[in-house]
Amino acid sequence: MIHSVTTLSRFFALLGSLAVCGVCAAADVAYFADNGYGNPISSLQHPVGEHYQGVTYVAYQGPHEDPYIAAYVHATAQWIGPVQAGVSAMGKSPDQIDPGELDNHGKPALVVDRQGYIHLVFGSHGGDPKYGRNPLGEFFMGTKGKMTHVVSVKPGDISAWRVVDNIPVHGTYNQWVKVPNGDLYLFYRHGGHRSDWVYQKSVDDGRTFAAPVSVLKHKVSAASPTVNDSWYAWFDNGRGDTITASYIYHPCANPKHNAHRQNTYYMQLDTQSGQWSNVQGARLALPVTKESADKLTLIEDTGTVRTTHGTAHVDAAGRPHLVFPAGKDVRYYRWDGKAWQKPVAVGAAGERMHDGDFFVDSPTSVRMLLAQTTEAGHEIAWWNTTDGGLTWLKGAVFMASKERSFNLSAMIRNAHPDAVMLLASRSPAEPHLYRQMHLVGAHGALVRPAAEASHLGDRLEHIKSLPPPNKDKAEAKRKKKLGLGDDDL
């Protein structure tokens, strides 16, 4: 089982072996690649992987912010790749060592269509104005890049890719949803902060897409002309032909920017009828505005507590379960059929809880993988409830390190038990921006011979010759961004 002492001991021993001997040619290591770049993954750009016909495919941001993809064949326990699958318009050369030089918003999202072709969308933070007018949003806070769609040349084969020029360039936070009949929905924010959240539907395996449909409306706030209504949203499969949407409100200051986000919301789409509704079934008119969201889809008014995007899943009855990071907590919400259950903070009191994702085993049983910062360092642990989220107990510590910190993806689509989540890890002592990439599941990390997991070549030697980041310049950038993280822009 994933909680076993043997599994954990094996993983920690692998991490320890890296510290003792570096990259040992004959050793297995607990990562499959060492060329994750900057912040290679996020739960917001999702899914980052899918299990399809015995193979788990995973994608992440690699050198120059380009998309990379690897594949794990479960029957033979063999890794393929990673290979570069495209070119990001936001990439820079040479390798950067100043994190302020990276945008990190163009991370890839992956889906496999009905014919087995693999699709990635990546490479944009709102779209560079040079590519033309944005009809559903604004160019704000230095939007850049070009949302790009690539498809594998052959089904199930990651070795060759082609660009398919069939989507707008003005995307941020690209997300795929594949419904049971195989139709594909691509959700994203159509530009910078002050932009609509939209979806495009494909009924022919991503060869063509219908025009964007606005779901969440950006506009000047009715409460104040100095605030623009903006959103962060997360879309995923619901029960049957339903797509769920969990989201938060961002009162984007005008003309400058602020980091505050608040409130939690939920709604859903019946893909058969094309009708959106709230959790009680009341019909919603599109695009949903701040006023209609507050009236019909609000779960909790969080006030001054800063809330960020989370994830959402449904149980066998189709009732939604959601998590949202709020302040230092991760709050769990559940619809019990009549009302939203009072939110409960998951984790240890007083400790910093971070992003994560979860499995719904039954209406009252949930398993959640959360990243946590403790006095001892960083860890990823299971948190479990069997009473519908009223109480939570910490399970096995899945991964832990005194020095290395971890970034988590959302759960792999159609996950094989041995490969449920993609992780990136880094040490602050490393004088570069490369990260180790881990694919983890029921038996810990899927290991790989160290020589096969090394993909940086002489990049690190070259980086050693570069001057250190300009601290004054970095501080100026920090102040300009108001201390915001990647998902604040």
From residue 322, alpha-carbon distances to 20, 82, 312, 360 in Å are: 41, 33, 4, 10
Please count the CA atoms within 13 angstroms of the CA of 65 that sit on its side-chain side: 27
Name 252's bridge partners.
228
**Rounded to an integer, what distance in angstroms lies between the CA atom of residue 269 and that of residue 294?**
18
**Rounded to an integer, what distance in angstroms lies between the CA atom of residue 110 and that of residue 41?**
12
Element of type H or E holding 15? helix 5-21
Here the tokens at position 226 are 């100095």
**Rounded to an integer, what distance in angstroms lies between the CA atom of residue 237 and that of residue 55?**
21
CA dihedral 98→471→426→348, nearest 10 degrees, is -130
**Rounded to an integer, what distance in angstroms lies between the CA atom of residue 248 and that of residue 312?**
13
Q: Are strands 365-374 and 377-385 parallel, antiparallel or unpaired?
A: antiparallel
Is the alpha carbon torsion for 104, 420, 311, 214 positive or negative?
positive
Identify the DSSP state of 13: H
Residue 397's CB is within 10 A of a number of other CB atoms, namely 15
Is the alpha carbon torsion for 58, 417, 443, 376 positive or negative?
positive
Name 352's bridge partners.
373
| Nearest of 381, 378, 361, 276 to residue 321 by alpha carbon | 361
From residue 159, alpha-carbon distances to 85, 107, 280 in Å are: 8, 19, 47
Q: Write out the E strands in 255-328.
A: 262-270, 275-277, 298-300, 311-314, 320-326
Here the tokens at position 140 are 């704000």
* 3-class DSSP assignment, residue 412: strand
CA dihedral 482→263→107→193, nearest 10 degrees, is -60
What's the N-to-C CA distance of the chain in angstroms?
39
| Nearest of 101, 100, 98 to residue 466 by alpha carbon | 98
From residue 186, alpha-carbon distances to 127, 246, 440 in Å are: 16, 16, 26
Q: What are phi and psi of 312, to 5 degrees?
A: -145, 140
Identify the DSSP state of 474: H
266 residue type, one letter: Y
Question: Which of the residues are catalytic?
Answer: 105, 173
